[in-house]
């Protein structure tokens, strides 16, 4: 929303019509010789409509437009922005995503499990406000991709950069939880949450899932666990981002449901099973509604001065008038 800090200067606009009349329409304004037609005894003179006349008129338009823009700049145009200022900290959330090869299983049509999970996480992030969100992924190893931040664009970029098997071909659930807990340990948020998505059994990593869960619970972190995928044989196809090799085949799907239930219950969270894209979306909507806390918010007003923009525009307009009259019309200017 635009506003003017010194609107009284707009009264100067009333001078513009007077100036136009004085410069262009007032009789005996200088530069004219009075000559009676009864002495001339000839036909009258009429100005021809030429390109030079049009150019001269355009230069006059630039001049007076520049004067008007300068007057507006004097009035102090500013951009008036109303913004919400949060007085309390939100919930710190880290999403822990499995990127093992089994996540390429194609039972989440039209995408595989991995792409479907990324799409749903993206929607979840878009629905949050003032809650720092981070991202951890794991395969045979685990890594922090984005620390908890309010820069959701950075989180989304980190999410888009994830590829299957970047961290090996194993499933280190315990390492994923441990890395997330480590980066939530120093958080001053009252509520801290881990959302774990996996479709396999823990078969790698130095830290067992039970130990990692105990560490997180001791730090006051709630863990939501999501088991992804249907049981039994499912088609699998993916391209290794490092070697470019394409893998195809049938994969016997399954995850340790008892482990995921135990991790969730001990931390005060909840376990979910996602068998399709729609069910995964519903799960994240449920978590989103469960992990919503009232926050103290006040409305603030931010004023951004924009008079410098009008000054630059005015200078260009007057400079355009000068160039046309001096360089093109060859007028003698002071």
Question: Hey, what are 254's tokens?
Answer: 């399954």
Question: Hey, what are 129's tokens?
Answer: 């406000």
Using the predicted structure, report yes or no on whether residue 184 has a pLDDT greater than 70.
yes
Comparing CA positions, the residue from 290, 213, 299 lying closest to residue 259 is 213
Specify the higher pLDDT residue, 95 or 303: 95
Spatial CB neighbours of 41, under 8 Å, sequence gap ≥ 6: none
pLDDT of residue 251: 77
pLDDT of residue 5: 83
Distance (Å, rounded) from C-alpha 124 to C-alpha 128?
Answer: 7
Domain boundaries, the chain: 2-23+49-81+301-328, 88-290
| Percent of the chain with pLDDT strictly greater than 90 | 45
User: How do residues 193-252 score in pLDDT, each as one tens digit?
Assistant: 999 999 988 998 999 999 999 999 999 999 999 999 888 888 888 777 777 778 788 877
Distance (Å, rounded) from C-alpha 37 to C-alpha 28?
Answer: 17
Q: Strand 221-228 to strand 192-198: parallel, antiparallel, or no bridges (unpaired)?
A: parallel
Number of CB atoms found within 10 A of residue 121's CB: 22
Question: Hey, what are 115's tokens?
Answer: 């792409």
User: How do residues 98-129 score in pLDDT, each as one tens digit?
Assistant: 999 889 998 888 889 999 999 999 999 998 88
User: pLDDT confidence of 89, banded at 50, 70, 90?
Assistant: low
pLDDT of residue 25: 76
How far CA 195 is from CA of 97, 109, 117, 260, 300, in Å, comes to 8, 23, 12, 11, 33
Distance (Å, rounded) from C-alpha 127 to C-alpha 130?
Answer: 10
Comparing CA positions, the residue from 89, 85, 297, 295 lying closest to residue 190 is 89
Contact 97, 136 (CB under 8 A): yes
Query: Mean pLDDT, to the nearest integer, of 252-280?
Result: 91
User: How do residues 50-72 score in pLDDT, each as one tens digit?
Assistant: 667 778 788 889 998 999 999 99
pLDDT of residue 140: 93
The CATH class for the domain spanning 88-290 reads alpha beta
Question: Hey, what are 278's tokens?
Answer: 């729609």
CA 231-249-256 angle, 5° bins: 30
Query: Mean pLDDT, to the nearest integer, of 86-92?
Result: 68
Rg (CA), the chain: 35
Question: Hey, what are 307's tokens?
Answer: 């008079």
Comparing CA positions, the residue from 169, 127, 177, 171 lying closest to residue 152 is 127
pLDDT of residue 196: 97
Using the predicted structure, report yes or no on whether residue 305 has a pLDDT greater than 80.
yes
Question: Hey, what are 166's tokens?
Answer: 């970047």
User: pLDDT confidence of 76, banded at 50, 70, 90?
Assistant: confident
b/e 68-102 (16+ beta carbons within 10 angstroms → b): bbbbbbbbbbbeeeeeeeeeebbbbbbbbbbbbbb
Question: Hey, what are 212's tokens?
Answer: 């990692």
User: pLDDT confidence of 22, banded at 50, 70, 90?
Assistant: confident
User: How do residues 27-48 score in pLDDT, each as one tens digit?
Assistant: 655 555 555 555 555 555 555 5
Comparing CA positions, the residue from 11, 6, 9, 13 lying closest to residue 64 is 13
Q: How far is C-alpha 4 from the geometric centre of its chain's CA atoms? A: 29
Number of CB atoms found within 10 A of residue 327's CB: 9
Q: Please state the pTM of the whole predicted model.
A: 0.67
Using the predicted structure, report yes or no on whether residue 91 has a pLDDT greater than 80.
yes
Q: How far is C-alpha 211 from the geometric centre of its chain's CA atoms? A: 38
Number of CB atoms found within 10 A of residue 266's CB: 14
Query: Mean pLDDT, to the nearest integer, of 274-288?
Result: 92
Please, what is the average pLDDT of the chain? 85
Number of CB atoms found within 10 A of residue 248's CB: 9
Distance (Å, rounded) from C-alpha 9 to C-alpha 73?
Answer: 9
Handedness of CA 195, 128, 86, 269 (dihedral sign): negative
């Amino acid at each position: 929303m635009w506003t003017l800090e010194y609107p009284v200067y707009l009264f100067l606009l009333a001078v513009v019509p007077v100036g136009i009349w004085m410069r262009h329409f007032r009789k005996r304004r200088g530069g004219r010789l009075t000559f009676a037609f009864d002495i001339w005894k000839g036909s009258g003179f009429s100005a021809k409509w030429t390109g030079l006349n049009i150019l001269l008129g355009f230069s006059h338009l630039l001049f007076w437009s520049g004067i008007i823009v300068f007057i507006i700049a004097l009035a102090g145009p500013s951009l008036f922005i109303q913004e919400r200022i949060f007085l309390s900290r939100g919930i710190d959330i880290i999403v822990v995503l499995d990127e093992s090869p089994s996540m390429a299983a194609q039972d989440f049509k039209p995408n595989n499990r991995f792409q479907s999970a990324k799409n749903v996480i993206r929607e979840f992030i878009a629905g949050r406000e003032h809650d720092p969100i981070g991202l951890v992924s794991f395969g045979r190893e685990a890594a922090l991709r984005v620390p908890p931040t309010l820069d959701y664009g950075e989180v989304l970029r980190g999410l888009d950069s994830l590829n299957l098997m970047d961290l090996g071909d194993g499933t280190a659930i315990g390492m994923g939880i441990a890395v997330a807990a480590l980066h939530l340990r120093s958080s001053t948020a009252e509520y801290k949450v881990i959302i774990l998505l996996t479709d396999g059994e823990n078969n790698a990593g130095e830290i067992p899932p039970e130990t990692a869960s105990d560490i997180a619970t001791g730090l006051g972190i709630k863990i939501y666990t999501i088991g992804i995928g249907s049981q039994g044989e499912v088609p699998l196809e993916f391209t290794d981002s490092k070697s470019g090799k394409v893998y195809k085949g049938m994969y016997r799907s399954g995850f340790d449901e008892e482990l995921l239930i135990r991790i969730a219950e001990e931390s005060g969270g909840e376990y979910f099973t996602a068998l399709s894209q729609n069910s995964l979306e519903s799960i994240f909507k449920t978590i989103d509604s469960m992990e919503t806390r009232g926050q103290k918010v006040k409305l603030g007003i931010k004023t951004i001065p924009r008079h410098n923009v009008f000054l630059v525009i005015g200078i260009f307009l007057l400079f355009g008038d000068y160039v046309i009259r001096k360089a093109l019309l060859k007028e003698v200017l002071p």
